[in-house]
Amino acid sequence: MLSRRDFLAGSAVIIGVGALPKGAAAQPLTDFVDSLIDGQSPRQGGRLVYGNPVPNWALGQSDRGQHPYYFMDIQTRGIWNALTWVDEDLNVVPELAESFVSNDDATVWDYKLREGVFFHDGREFTSADAVASARLHAHPKFGGVGFFKQDIKSVEAVGKYGVRFHLNRPNVEFPHATAEYRAMMLPARENLEEMGYDGIGTGPFKLVEIDNKRQFLAERFENYWMPNKPYIEELQGVLAMGQSAINGFQSGQFNAVYNADPGQFDQFGSVGGVVNSAPSGDQFWLVLPKNMNLPWNDVRVRKAMSLAIDRPKINRIIYGDPDGWTGNDTHMNGVNREFQPRAVERDVAEARRLLAEAGYPDGIDLPAIFYCPGYPEEPRLWAVVGESLKEAGINLEFAERPCDGFSPFTMAVNKPIGRPRRNLVGARNPNINLSRLSQLNDAEPGGWSGPGFDRYNELLTTAAAEMDDEARLAIYHEMQAIAQEEVPGIMIGGRRTNVVSAPNVHNLRAHTQLWQGPRYESVWIDA
């Protein structure tokens, strides 16, 4: 296993996650899929039945799981495809697009679509569908892709197989936005509001039935655009909360589990389970509202909180990964090439000194922070965080709430910021990551303001237009330094996406960006 030092030192060479300069060539997705089965003899047939303890966060908003917004989980690429895909190294590559290129200032992006792609109902996928899908996702009322709403001014067809995006601002990293898990390509309808509810996509499997709060069943799409793929005949996903995941795997009901509890890896292994963990995964961000009269309005209290949290202990106890990366109090992820670690990992004495300086020499009681157990290990994780805070004299309760209705609960008061809470943060490209602490996000900065915030926003705009990789890297480092000095929120860090599979299931791989995997085209089951 790489040490944390080696991991961070090597990431600049290993991870190619920076923005693509205009016109950059990308490795074809089909080459990646073929590389996974190189030297193997895949068998056609079989059913993959996976249990997943992590439902789509939007389940409470609709029972119509035929729509990718409200599908059972956010692994939407079994049924649908997007224009682009983010690979395992967090590079953006074409998916239903064949290529993409920008103009000189990255305000206009032209996508050439792959020809010969068909929807599950037999219709050909063309620019009319791509334009309608993009307009749906960017619609201010019922669109569901926030990055489309932020960036896209208009979109137009360029012939039968071309799409042109006009952006509100320069963005050299825009193709990452078209890979989002909700940004799926759907059959066009005249009324955008009706799109997506038929369950029809271009993905490797056709949806047969779904109860999005329980399970779905899909069957192999014979006319999939990757020839002779997929190998599996049926795909079934089941929500498996609590002990249901391990029990279902042990009994043979499931031959795979996504997002398994790391504390149960040994139990999975005892019945032949094979664990595949990605370099990183979704993370936990603490939203600290600063628009109310709360103690953490004082930056010294926020700094003390961050210095007191024992992140390496979390990695060691919860994830069995003592050398894993730790959060740097931005939305950046340890696998990002541009990631800049905090200067000091933990310093309880300095945390106590800062509290005393802020007027709390005998410690401090902070308001509760709410969470829902979106991942099965969360209750244990927050117990470790709470214990480490107490070592610095900080008393903070992490209050558990049901995941069903969690978002409405947290946003019922103090809009647009909401209650103190933990938010789930996916691993993304630097500009999207760092935009989540900017004026483009109403909630996660928690009401951060002042000269540091103004400078941060200015730098974000500059970075989005900067074509030079090294110049952009320097900007991103300055932004992270500002956030680490002012601590508008706290990042825990250290999680890795995982999948567990039976030994006869081949090429089922975890992905750092949870919703980009698994890629089912390479998965096969040995009799």
CA angle centred on 257, ends 264 and 4, rounded to 5°:
60
Domain ranges of the chain: 1-39+80-196, 283-491
* Exposure b/e, 323-343, CB count within 10 A at least 16 = b: ebbbbbbbbbbbbbbbbbbbe
Separation between Cα atoms, residue 300 and residue 305, nearest integer Å: 9
First to last CA, the chain: 32
Residue 254 near residue 248, CB atoms below 8 Å:
yes
Q: What are 175-226's pLDDT values in tens digits?
A: 999 999 999 999 999 999 999 999 999 999 999 999 999 999 999 999 999 9
Q: What six digits make up the tokens of 465?
A: 């237009």
User: Can you list the alpha helix ranges (DSSP code H) found in 114-196?
Assistant: 127-138, 146-151
Residue pair 466/472 in contact by the 8 Å Cβ criterion: yes
Q: Do domains 1-39+80-196 and 283-491 have the same CATH topology?
A: no
Reply yes or no: is the peptide bond before residue 416 cis, omega within 30 of 0: yes
Residue 27 has a pLDDT of 64
| pLDDT given for residue 152 in this prediction | 98
How high is the pLDDT of residue 60? Answer: 78
Q: How far apart are CA 179 and CA 81, in angstroms?
A: 9
d(CA 497, CA 192): 34
- The per-residue pLDDT for 274 is 98
Which CATH number does 1-39+80-196 carry?
3.90.76.10
Q: Which residues of the chain have pLDDT under 50?
A: 1-25
DSSP state of 124: B
pLDDT of residue 58: 86
Question: Which residues neighbour 190 within 8 Å (Cβ) at sequence distance 6 or greater?
Answer: none
Helix (H, G, I), strand (E, B) or coil at 16: coil
With contact defined as beta carbons under 8 Å apart, do 120 and 204 qualify?
A: no
Domain at 283-491: CATH architecture: Roll (3.10)
- Looking at residue 348, its amino acid is V
Rounded-to-integer distance, Cα 422 and Cα 326, Å: 16
The first and second tokens of residue 315, run together, are 């990695």
- The token pair at 180 is 């989002």
Contact in structure between 374 and 54 (CB atoms under 8 Å): yes
pLDDT value for 18 = 37
